[in-house]
């Protein structure tokens, strides 16, 4: 029988805290887009979306491991469920608890926030259960879920102050996040080609080939670079611009190497490296928005 410390460690592995922290940061960005426009907001306007995103995204990681247990037995036998440190039943109970605690507070905000959280929670579950196997559709859903954390961060305070028009300020960072996440998701499918065969996932590389998939990923990264000036022209300052240029440099490096996936013998290894580069780009990109919004807020305080 496992002791409490080992069991807790296994649960934390399921939750993927490092990914959850990123989701909380993007939620904060959404909230800040409204806060810089509205002088005072109730504390619940930030606490509720953070709870929803933090707990529901954690639940999504747990249920994903639950449905992926057969694949993980082959590729990642060290994961909590295939290694036997967490039972499938425990994973289901944990998923349910996280969802209930994460969703319940959003119901007190209003119909739009509640509906948004509930629909996205269902999408998180359906993704792991079935949508993931649809390949590109699954990539789009994951990317939307990432972008929607920004929208929820703006939607909750907007509904609390009874003016949904403030949600529009979250559009630019949300589009930026969606495109960047989609590019990374496609590259990740190249890395996961062999694993996807186990579950018969119709990923882009398995359906249209690595060559065409790499062109799509390249185009998305180039598109992000092309639109990176849009936030600056829309009112974000030089702090955003400096960090956006760092993000652009990472994306250009990744995009150039993405094209190399078409003509190398081991594209999975290169894709793994590019996924790490894009993870860093996601961090610098989100920091660009967050830092600039916090600076603008400090100037008005």
Distances (CA, A) of 184 to 196, 270, 294: 16, 13, 27
Do the domain assignments include residue 138? yes
CA pair distance 38, 51, nearest whole angstrom:
22
Do the domain assignments include residue 2? no
Q: What is the CATH number of the domain that holds 291?
A: 1.10.600
Do the domain assignments include residue 17? yes
Backbone angles phi, psi at 37, to 5 degrees: -100, -25
Domain that holds residue 180: 8-300
Per-residue confidence (pLDDT) for residue 1, from 0 to 100: 61
Q: Which of 119, 173, 114, 109 is CA-nearest to residue 146?
A: 173
**What is the b/e burial string over 12-36, where b = at least 16 CB atoms within 10 angstroms of the residue's CB?**
ebbbbeeebebbbbbbbbbbbbbbb
Per-residue confidence (pLDDT) for residue 53, from 0 to 100: 97
Do the domain assignments include residue 3? no
Do the domain assignments include residue 1? no
- Token pair of 242 as six digits: 């400096």
Do the domain assignments include residue 32? yes
Per-residue confidence (pLDDT) for residue 203, from 0 to 100: 85
Do the domain assignments include residue 147? yes
**Alpha-helix residue ranges (DSSP H) falling in the chain:** 4-15, 17-35, 44-67, 69-75, 88-107, 111-129, 136-160, 171-191, 193-199, 204-207, 210-227, 230-233, 238-259, 267-300
Query: What's the domain count of the chain?
Result: 1
Q: Say if CB 135 and CB 203 are below 8 A apart.
A: yes
Do the domain assignments include residue 257? yes
184-187, long-range: CB < 8 A, 24+ apart? 184/275, 184/278, 184/279, 184/282, 185/139, 185/142, 185/143, 186/136, 186/139, 186/213, 186/216, 186/217, 186/220, 187/217, 187/254, 187/258, 187/261, 187/271, 187/274, 187/275, 187/278
Per-residue confidence (pLDDT) for residue 266, from 0 to 100: 84
- pLDDT tens string, the chain, 301 residues long: the values are 677 787 888 888 899 888 899 999 999 999 999 999 998 899 999 999 999 999 999 999 999 999 888 777 777 788 888 888 889 999 999 999 999 999 999 999 999 999 999 999 999 999 988 898 888 999 999 999 999 999 999 999 999 999 999 999 999 999 999 999 999 999 999 988 877 776 677 888 888 998 999 999 999 999 999 999 999 999 999 999 999 999 999 999 999 999 999 888 888 889 999 999 999 999 999 999 999 999 999 988 7
């Amino acid at each position: 029988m496992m002791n409490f410390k080992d069991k807790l460690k296994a649960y934390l592995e399921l939750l993927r805290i490092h990914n959850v922290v990123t989701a909380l940061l993007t939620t904060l960005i959404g909230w800040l887009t409204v806060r810089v426009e509205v002088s005072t907001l109730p504390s619940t306007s930030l606490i509720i979306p953070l709870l929803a995103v933090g707990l529901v995204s954690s639940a999504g990681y747990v249920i994903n491991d639950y449905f992926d247990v057969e694949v993980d037995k082959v590729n990642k036998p060290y994961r909590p469920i295939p290694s036997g440190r967490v039972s499938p039943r425990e994973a289901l109970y944990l998923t349910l608890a996280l969802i209930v605690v994460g969703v319940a507070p959003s119901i007190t905000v209003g119909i739009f926030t509640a509906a948004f959280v509930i629909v996205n929670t269902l999408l998180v579950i359906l993704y792991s259960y079935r949508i993931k196997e649809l390949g590109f559709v699954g990539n789009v859903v994951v990317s939307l879920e990432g972008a929607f954390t920004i929208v929820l961060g703006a939607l909750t305070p907007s509904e609390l102050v009874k003016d949904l028009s403030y949600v529009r300020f979250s559009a630019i960072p949300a589009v930026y996040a969606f495109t960047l996440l989609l590019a990374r998701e496609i590259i990740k499918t190249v890395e996961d080609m062999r694993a996807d065969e186990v579950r018969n996932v119709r990923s882009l590389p398995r359906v249209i080939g690595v060559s065409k998939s790499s062109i799509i990923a390249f185009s998305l990264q180039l598109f992000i670079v092309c639109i990176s000036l849009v936030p600056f022209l829309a009112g974000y300052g030089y702090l955003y611009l400096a960090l956006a240029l760092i993000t652009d440099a990472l994306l250009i490096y990744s995009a150039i190497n993405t094209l190399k996936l078409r003509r190398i013998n081991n594209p999975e290894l290169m894709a793994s490296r590019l996924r790490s580069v894009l993870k860093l780009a996601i961090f610098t990109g989100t920091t660009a928005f967050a830092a600039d919004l916090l600076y603008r807020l400090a100037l008005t305080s």
